[in-house]
A and B are shown apart, each in its own frame.
Chain A
Amino acid sequence: MTMPVKVTKRLRPDIWFDRHRYRWRELRLLVFVALFLLLGFFQLQVAAAVQTGKALPTNALPPLDAFIPAFGLIAALVVAHLALNILAPDTDQTLLPIAGALSSVGVVMATRLGPDLGRDDLGARQLVFVIVGLGACILTVWATRDLRWLRNYKYTWLAVGLVLVGVTLLKPSNFNTDSPSRDVLSIGSGGLAFQPSELLKICLVVFFAGYLSENREMLAQAFYRFGPLKLPPLKHLGPLIVMLGVALVLVVRLRELGLALLIFGLFLSMLYVASNRPLYVVGSLAAFAAGAFLALRIFSYARTRLDIVSSAFNPGVANDAGFQLVQGLIAFASGGIFGSGLGLGKPWIVPESATDFIASSIGEEFGFMGVLALIGLFMLLVYRGLHVAVNARDSFNQLLAVGLTAVFALQTMVILAGNLKVLPLTGVPLPFVAYGGSSLIANFVIIGLLLRLSQRNA
């Protein structure tokens, strides 16, 4: 009888740090992010001096205290960079700097807007959120060494997400308010409010990726024919339709238009990538159009939102329901090409200028060139995400990367279009830039997942 052989010798790591695989490109990119932060905080000083009429002392360096947040964030980014060198040296080197640059813009804007909004600690809090987010990113990279762990528990993730959102349904104050941008899905109050909807996004993407990668052959084939339509077996389409139903319930019960749009967009993009059949997209869009038409007929709040978009500049609307939107547009316009300069504009006139209307604050102070740079960064983020998807090892990883990238792309488009009066305004945060902890941390978790997915043999 043979005994099961145990490894008696305890294994020691060969090395922790590989010089040949050091992430030089990432470090190089982070230097520019650091430069941006230092310049930003320097300019805040200059602007404060201009506003108060006192000149900066020319014979001395600007006071160092004001740069502490910048140094803090730079240190956090460098620590994350070093941690990635140890945990996952072979992963994408551009994702962390892009996310770092975007969240640096967010921290600079929160620091700038805080005093004018009567919340002096806004910048400091945003900084803490970013640092916690970076920690969450590294933790995610560490925890997902084995991605099968995510795939095997896909129904668990779905349940976790739905339970978290279900909890918010218990709060009666969540119903029957007409403000377009409030944190409907929040637990807790005051400083520690947590929005489970941010986690729901990630859970849903993992579920969709797991489900679609298992059933992609089935979904790509046609079984039933209805005239020109070919449909796969209901057994395989069913769970997906149930998920769409849940999204619809969210709209109806919670009036959370932005989240529903996001879930629907996610579903569409991932279904298309999994099945490679445009028919699904066309069919779902038709269903969406029908649903939107019905919603306009039945729900008055849906019509109100659309009315704001179509007639924002009517005097009755512009001073009432459309005030925020119109002020946001005026802020964009007053920025011109070069902007008023950081700290020299009046972006706080727009309600929610640090959260939903952060883009109009940036448009006013950085002008067209600033908004263009911001959109460029978001486009690169999406490009790198899809790059990860193209090089992914198997269909689960690929779908996961596509879905996670789509979260960024859809959120950015929905909120920017809302700010620019192209779509009805919804309370979706601009990824990494808008003030808010739950969203930032969730976005950094997504960056962590994308980093792990970008590993060549992940």
Chain B
Amino acid sequence: MDFSPLGDLLTNPLFLLRLGFVAVLYLVILQVVRVSRLEMKRAAVAPAGATRAQQVVGYLIVIDSGSTPLIPGQRIAIEPLTTIGRSPTNTIVLDSTFVSTEHTRIIFRERSLWVDDMGSRNGTLLDQKPVAQPVAVSPGSILQVGDVRFKFAAP
């Protein structure tokens, strides 16, 4: 058996089983390489779309980061249309189970910032009051989104 030609080996079902067994390990390797390549492609495309110069109309200062990895004291820029939520498509992504996919919207209109709730489960609080319709904010107001709290600051 040890010195039989390869042709004999290939017709032996046991040998094919052995090959298949290790081949699955190679399939795992191939799949991981495929995933890595996909991620690399995505990483190469992403910065092009991300580098858009935006007008900054104010800042949010993190007061209480809740269960997100934000750091209290961190300043986050507010753009003319800023969305806050758990989904990665938002301008400000809050990775917390208490934050809805699309939670809060901040709009710059008539030289003022307006806060509006997007139908979130836990609601948006401005200075401890639930936001039901667009509310104009002034610097120093406290905005609570889920378990995260921010303070508005002028640009």
**A401 is an interface residue with CB less than 8 A from chain B:** no
What is the interface size of chain B, counting residues whose CB is below 8 A from a CB of the partner?
40
Name 13 interchain pairs, CB-CB below 8 A, sorted by A: A9-B122, A14-B120, A14-B146, A15-B97, A16-B97, A29-B28, A43-B18, A98-B28, A145-B67, A342-B18, A376-B26, A383-B36, A384-B36
Name, among B15, B25, B33, B99, the residue most crowded by chain A CB atoms within 10 Å (CB to CB): B25
**B50 is an interface residue with CB less than 8 A from chain A:** no
Q: List the 4 shortest-distance A-B pairs measured between CB atoms, nearest first.
A: A373-B25, A13-B97, A36-B24, A14-B100
Contacts of A369 in B (CB 8 A): 22
- Chain A: number of interface residues, binned into ranges: 35 or more
**A298 is an interface residue with CB less than 8 A from chain B:** no
A residues with CB within 8 A of B: 5, 7, 9, 11-16, 18, 20, 25, 28-29, 32-33, 35-36, 39-40, 42-43, 46, 50, 90, 93-94, 97-98, 101, 105, 145-147, 338-339, 341-342, 366, 369-370, 373-374, 376-377, 380, 383-384, 387, 455, 457-458
- Nearest residue (CB) in B for A47 is B14
- A32-B24, A43-B21 provided; 9 other pairs, C-beta below 8 A? A11-B147, A14-B86, A14-B97, A32-B27, A36-B21, A369-B22, A373-B29, A380-B33, A384-B36
Q: How far is the CA of A24 from the CA of B10 in the complex (A)?
A: 35
Q: How far is the CA of A458 from the CA of B70 in the complex (A)?
A: 9
Q: Judging by beta carbons under 8 Å apart, are B25 and A387 in contact?
A: no
- Chain B 12-46, CB-CB to A under 8 Å as 1, else 0, gives 00110111111011111101110110000000000
- Chain B 59-91, CB-CB to A under 8 Å as 1, else 0, gives 000000001110000000000000000111000
Q: Judging by beta carbons under 8 Å apart, are B17 and A43 in contact?
A: yes
Contacts of B122 in A (CB 8 A): 9, 11-12, 14
Q: Judging by beta carbons under 8 Å apart, are A39 and B24 in contact?
A: yes
Contacts of B35 in A (CB 8 A): 25, 29, 93-94
Contacts of A383 in B (CB 8 A): 36
Residue in A18, A20, A342 whose CB lies within 8 Å of B21? A342
Q: Judging by beta carbons under 8 Å apart, are B98 and A338 in contact?
A: no
By secondary structure, the A interface counts as: helix
Q: How far is the CA of A32 from the CA of B31 in the complex (A)?
A: 9
Q: Judging by beta carbons under 8 Å apart, are A50 and B67 in contact?
A: no
Q: Judging by beta carbons under 8 Å apart, are B22 and A373 in contact?
A: yes
Contacts of B29 in A (CB 8 A): 373, 376-377, 380
- Nearest residue (CB) in B for A26 is B35
Contacts of A387 in B (CB 8 A): 36
- Nearest residue (CB) in A for B122 is A11
Q: How far is the CA of A46 from the CA of B101 in the complex (A)?
A: 52
Contacts of A94 in B (CB 8 A): 32, 35-36
Q: How far is the CA of A377 from the CA of B35 in the complex (A)?
A: 14
- Nearest residue (CB) in B for A458 is B69
- Nearest residue (CB) in A for B100 is A14
Q: Judging by beta carbons under 8 Å apart, are A380 and B32 in contact?
A: yes
**Contact status of A377 and B25, CB under 8 A, knowing A11-B147, A458-B69:** yes
Shortest CB-to-CB span from A26 to chain B, Å, is 9
Q: Judging by beta carbons under 8 Å apart, are A98 and B32 in contact?
A: yes
Q: Judging by beta carbons under 8 Å apart, are A40 and B36 in contact?
A: no
Q: How far is the CA of A36 from the CA of B18 in the complex (A)?
A: 11
Q: How far is the CA of A198 from the CA of B32 in the complex (A)?
A: 27
Q: Judging by beta carbons under 8 Å apart, are B86 and A366 in contact?
A: no
Q: Judging by beta carbons under 8 Å apart, are B69 and A97 in contact?
A: no
Q: Judging by beta carbons under 8 Å apart, are A39 and B21 in contact?
A: yes
Q: How far is the CA of A79 from the CA of B137 in the complex (A)?
A: 46
Contacts of B95 in A (CB 8 A): 90, 455, 457
Q: Judging by beta carbons under 8 Å apart, are A5 and B14 in contact?
A: no
- Nearest residue (CB) in B for A366 is B22
Contacts of A28 in B (CB 8 A): 31
Shortest CB-to-CB span from A221 to chain B, Å, is 27
Q: Judging by beta carbons under 8 Å apart, are A46 and B99 in contact?
A: no
